[in-house]
A and B are shown apart, each in its own frame.
Chain A
Amino acid sequence: MPLDHRRVPGPEESQAPLLFVPSGAKESEPPPAGAAHRDPTALQPLFEFRRAPFSGRGARGRPSDREPELSLALQEALEPAVRLARYPRAQVDVSALLLQDGGSALAAALCAAGLALADAGIELYDLVVACALCRAPSEGEWLLQPSEPEERAAAARLTVALLPSLNQVSGLLGSGEGGPPDSWAQAVRLGLDGCQRLYPLLRQSLLRAVKRRTADTQEPSEREEAVEPPVVTA
């Protein structure tokens, strides 16, 4: 068989290094508002949510219990905040370890992971603030940042994540006994309100950390460990 001289050997796979520029009509609005497309080479984040074996009440969990659903929730809530296109071909690992479940665990993990990303100097569009809510079984009132007993008894649970200064909801995960959409909408509003109230707190603590850091200049580490802080109540 004759050789094909016209075909030039090249790499078998290629990917666009350039950031996809959204269509002309959309260019004016802020990038994360929905139009920005991510190109495939951009940073591939790895999100992980684990529970320590002794974190929950009752039976001990298996040590390697990775929670695929919560890991995915973590990923989907944090990804919109990270300027992924700035990190082509890079990988960042975010792992959250739940030490003790005092209620609102996912929300706390989201806040912690968002802060950790910011602390690591990863470029972000905005901080991520999250709030948990639950609906008590009988009266149907939504409670903000429930404690573990409240959460256990609740009829429905919801976690809301917000990019506060862009006012974009980056994460939403909830389920439970059926309720009318209005009730859920009210919960989302309450949650967003809670996030807005929580935001200055997180911001302050981040700024404090930066201030402290400037005293003893230190390279931020590539891999960060997001450990759950004490549950913040708004």
Chain B
Amino acid sequence: MASVVLSEAEKVYIMHGVQEDLRVDGRGCEDYRCIEVETDVVSNTSGSARVKLGHTDILVGVKAEMGTPKLDRPNEGYLEFFVDCSANATPEFEGRGGEELGTEIANTLYRIFNNESSIDLKLLCINPRENCWVLYVDVLLLECGGNLFDAISVAVKAALFNTRIPKVRVLEEEGGREIELSDDPFDCIRLNVDNVPCIVTLSKIGYRHIVDATLQEEACSLASLLISVTSRGTLTCMKKVGRGSLDPESIFEMMETGKRVGKLLHSSLQTVLDEEEKLGSARKKVGFLG
């Protein structure tokens, strides 16, 4: 992963700062950097979102394509995640350099969506056993400034919120079924993203934990706990990342913090998404020229 090298004294400075609840950029231990969210930034997708969190810059595009349901779930569509670590983010990602990180993130995304409540997959079914919608969620990492997982999960949620899948009807005819696309381009299915979880990564630095670590802070942290929280405060996934170990007691504290911060994250995100929706076509698109 993109990482920075720090001197021992710099690490000590960051560590003591966390202890005193004043981080290098003036934030407290439980403060996020300001998150900028914009949806519908790529017109060729069914739904897209771009999220900037400090220097971290994520673009997510969702494309709905027709496919066949999986054998063990004939009445459901499914999601596919692909993460592309662009060499723009760091030269290390050039060639196959970003592949490992990409698979790790994609696996984590599969994991947090691997339950029935996150998203109603039955809605994606067109024709049991034969046709369903497959949502390809493509995550593009444009810049790494720390806390990738949280930013990606927020971007995925925003993109799914923005996703519009055309409505189709199945016509029974002799000699087979036929699928007819609705004539009205605005006649489409929206996904309910109320239960889509967001990831909150809590990095352990010294004896305390922080949310939304910058690259420098990540370099000081040996172990972090990654948990995915839904808007109602339920946990759908937890995972220790990093090469260090954690104290059992601190895990419980981190879970509580994660739940609290996660709920706040969801409510703020939802407010902004609704606000953007309300603006409708009056909204001035910023895109990449901002």
Contact = CB atoms under 8 A, between A and B. Distances in A.
Nearest to B111: A175
B218 to A, nearest CB: 13
Classify the secondary structure of B's interface with A. mixed
B225 interface: yes
Interface stretch (B48-56, B154-162, B236-244, B279-287): B236-244
A153 interface: no
Nearest to B228: A175
Contacts of B228: 175
Nearest to B243: A79
A207 interface: no
Nearest to B5: A40
B248 A188 contact: yes
B252 A185 contact: yes
Nearest to B241: A76
A95 interface: no
Contact of A68 (B103, B234, B237, B241): B103
Contact of B234 (A77, A170, A179): A179
A158 interface: yes
B248 A181 contact: no
A35 B107 CA distance: 29
B268 interface: no
Interface in A147-178: 155-156, 158, 163, 166-178
B235 A179 contact: yes
B247 interface: yes
B156 to A, nearest CB: 16
Given A23-B8, A178-B197, A184 B238 contact: yes
Contacts of A180: 233-235
Classify the secondary structure of A's interface with B. mixed
A184 B117 contact: no
Contact of B248 (A23, A167, A174, A184): A167
Interface string B154-178: 0000000000000000000000000
Nearest to B19: A25
Contacts of B204: 34
A72 B251 contact: no
A171 B243 CA distance: 9
B95 to A, nearest CB: 18
A146 interface: no
A23 B227 CA distance: 30
B184 interface: no
A34 B251 contact: no
Interface in B191-223: 195, 197, 204, 222-223
A184 B240 contact: no
Given A176-B115, A176-B236, A169 B245 contact: yes
A163 B251 contact: no
A172 B243 contact: no
Interface of A: 20, 23, 32-35, 37-38, 68-69, 72, 76-77, 79-80, 155-156, 158, 163, 166-181, 184-185, 188-189, 192
Given A34-B245, A167-B247, A179-B234, 4 more contacts: A172-B225, A172-B246, A178-B195, A181-B259
